[in-house]
Chains A and B, each alone.
Chain A
Amino acid sequence: MLELQHIHKYYNPGTVNEMCLFEDFNLRVEDGQFVSVVGSNGSGKTSMLNLICGSIPLDSGKIVMNGQDINGMPEHKRNRKIGRVYQNPAMGTCPNMTILENMSLADNKGKPFSLGFGTNRKRIEYYREELAKLRLGLEDKLSVKVGSLSGGQRQAMALLMSTMTPIEFLILDEHTAALDPKTAERIMELTGQVVEEKRLTTIMVTHNLRYAVEYGDRLLMMHQGETVLDQAGEEKQRVSVEELLTKFNEISIECGN
């Protein structure tokens, strides 16, 4: 379970550019929940993910993961239980290392990076099987450098790598936004599969309203650091893209755009 309690976050505090993003923001995500998050630019979606992962510091409040307050825990330690896929496909892989080396790295997450051989030969067959599931032909290119793959192929690998070892939370930060529609569709299918298969507690930020409606069992709409829509269960199943668009327009009018 993941809980954000009374979160306060200011940007550029003490300067003329001071901006309050979160003022007493609260969110509780149950185990196994798949939350889709939509919202306009600057609404705090990515900041929320960054706060959860520890990429940016919190001003006040609590982030509780499985009952433990993780405030102050450095980013890399939090990542033991978190897998994250970024918008930029280059963020999730090492371009100058081969597919096999990237898979080996990901496979070793949570274990010590000792002086043992980097690639375990016994695992190669498993890597091939996992890559084959992506249906991108990557299983035959194990010695190819990841830098020469397309964005979609890299993002598929990033998704695979971030969910390869046992994790509990999956953070998806607009992970289909930089992909062409067809590839985005494929990555979303894979995301749905992996979340279901591994029963991951997932938070997915997206600008694609259709994905937000189709995937996940809870939907959040954020605006200026607040949740303006929060629907789960059957209510969530009834939400339509049109409804979301209407809500979006209401918000925008309030802002005077």
Chain B
Amino acid sequence: MMTIVLGVLEEGLVYAIMALGVYITYKILDFPDLSVDGTFPLGAAVTVRLMLAGFHPVFCMLAAVAAGMLAGMVTGLIHVKFKVRDLLSGIIVMTALYSLNLRIAGRANVPIFSQETIFENSLWERIIPAGLAPYLTAMILLVLVLLVKVLLDVYLKTKSGYLLRAVGDNEVLVTSLAKDKGAVKILGLALANGFAALSGSVYCQMNGFFEISTGTGTIVIGLANVIIGINLFRRLTFVKATMAVVIGSIVYKACVSLAIALGMGASDLKLITAVLFLIILVVSSLGKTGRPGKTGMTGKSGANGEKRRGGKAGKEGAPHA
């Protein structure tokens, strides 16, 4: 039983980092970014490649973040400079990354069991008592996730963070503030995909291998985490949205584990993921309007629907149109 709870906690926390990235694109930028399906395994691919070349795991993580941010920028540039629709820009980058990830990692499956990771290394072996060892992974993840969450919270309070929130809220205002809204979007996508790649890097270190297929469905998990979290804590205003996303990730993972425990096979994982996501979308829209309504990829439906009318209406050549 304990191992199941720990497993849920660990996986939930790993995906929470990615979900915080999805929170940036989906909730703040109002940009349905599918590139995370490619940047999550990108983080893992960069990590295994560098790790096998002898680099320190922390350096591998930083490199993964940099690679993810770069990929996010590409999505942003395709959208902003070539005026490709947001969904399509993400799909293009996600698809290209599949091949790139294979190139970076070398093969579809790369084990790193013998390598030192942030979870298993000589330092921990010396200072962590044997009794704590089973909880070590969860504790490290908790510290890491809280660190990332706090960094994001602080960033969103900076001037740059204000501008990021403004561009998702009302991009006309950003232009009025004499700022290039495209540049702000690119920045937001870079951040979000940096988070996704970090998550992928940690995920492969935890599991001890890189596997190309782990990326499939990342965006669905991320969206599910964000939507569960935000809706669970909608009425509790003292819970920050970022905290809600972290808790949402754990709750979602628990739901998936429950489904598997109830007799679904491990091969049904993606099916469970998809069906659960559908249930979450329908339930959350029921909660808002009393009947199933808008359940699309619009991060800010319902109460903020006005933004769609106001902020984006009447803009010539808007790529979303």
Contacts and interface: CB of A to CB of B under 8 A. Distances in A.
Interface in A193-242: none
A80 B178 contact: yes
A96 B299 CA distance: 13
Contacts of B175: 75-76, 79
Which of A74, A96, A97 counts the most B-chain CB atoms under 10 A from its CB?
A96
Nearest to B173: A94
Interface string B165-189: 1100110111111111100000000
A76 B179 contact: yes
Interface stretch (B71-79, B210-218, B248-256, B309-317): B309-317
A101 B164 CA distance: 12
B170 A90 contact: yes
A14 interface: no
Most buried by A among B170, B180, B311: B170
Interface hub of A83, A92, A116, A118 (most chain B Cβ within 10 A): A118
Given A91-B310, A94-B165, A118 B172 contact: no
Contacts of A108: 159, 162, 177
A152 to B, nearest CB: 15
Interface string A74-90: 11110110011010101
Interface majority SS on A: helix, strand, loop or mixed? loop
A124 interface: no
Contact of A118 (B158, B180, B304): B158
B75 to A, nearest CB: 21
Nearest to A167: B178
B162 A113 contact: yes
A26 B319 CA distance: 32
B310 A88 contact: yes
Contacts of B315: 55
A90 B310 contact: yes
Most interface-central of B157, B161, B179, B306 (chain A CB within 10 A): B179
A101 B161 CA distance: 11
Nearest to B28: A96
A118 B161 contact: yes
Main secondary structure of the interface of B (DSSP, over half): helix
Interface residues on B, range: 20 to 34
Contacts of B163: 105, 113
A33 interface: no
Given A80-B178, A118-B158, A97 B310 contact: no
A106 interface: yes
A76 B162 contact: no
B165 A79 contact: no
Contacts of A95: 169-170, 304, 306-307, 310
A113 B316 contact: no
B256 to A, nearest CB: 31
Contacts of B177: 76, 79, 105-106, 108-109
Contacts of B169: 94-97
A117 B157 contact: yes
A60 B311 CA distance: 29
Contacts of B174: 76
B102 to A, nearest CB: 36
A147 B304 contact: yes
B298 interface: no
A114 interface: yes
A56 to B, nearest CB: 6
A113 B174 CA distance: 11
A116 B179 contact: no
A91 B174 CA distance: 10
Contact of B158 (A80, A97, A117): A117
A55 B175 CA distance: 10
Contacts of B173: 91-94, 105
Interface string A32-74: 0000000000000000000000011000000000000000001
A56 B316 CA distance: 7
B170 A93 contact: yes
A253 interface: no
Given A101-B162, A105-B163, A113-B162, A147 B306 contact: yes
Contact of A90 (B161, B166, B180, B309): B309
Contacts of B310: 88, 90-91, 95
Given A114-B158, A118-B157, A91 B311 contact: yes
30 contacts: A76-B177, A80-B178, A90-B309, A92-B173, A92-B176, A93-B170, A94-B169, A94-B170, A94-B173, A96-B307, A97-B166, A101-B162, A105-B166, A105-B177, A106-B177, A108-B162, A112-B159, A113-B179, A114-B160, A115-B155, A115-B158, A116-B159, A117-B157, A117-B158, A117-B159, A119-B157, A147-B303, A147-B304, A147-B306, A162-B176
Given A76-B181, A117-B157, 18 more contacts: A55-B315, A74-B180, A76-B179, A84-B176, A94-B166, A95-B310, A96-B165, A96-B169, A97-B165, A97-B169, A101-B162, A105-B177, A109-B176, A113-B162, A114-B159, A117-B159, A147-B303, A147-B306
Ranked nearest first, the 3 interchain pairs of A and B with the lowest CB-CB distance are: A90-B310, A94-B169, A118-B162
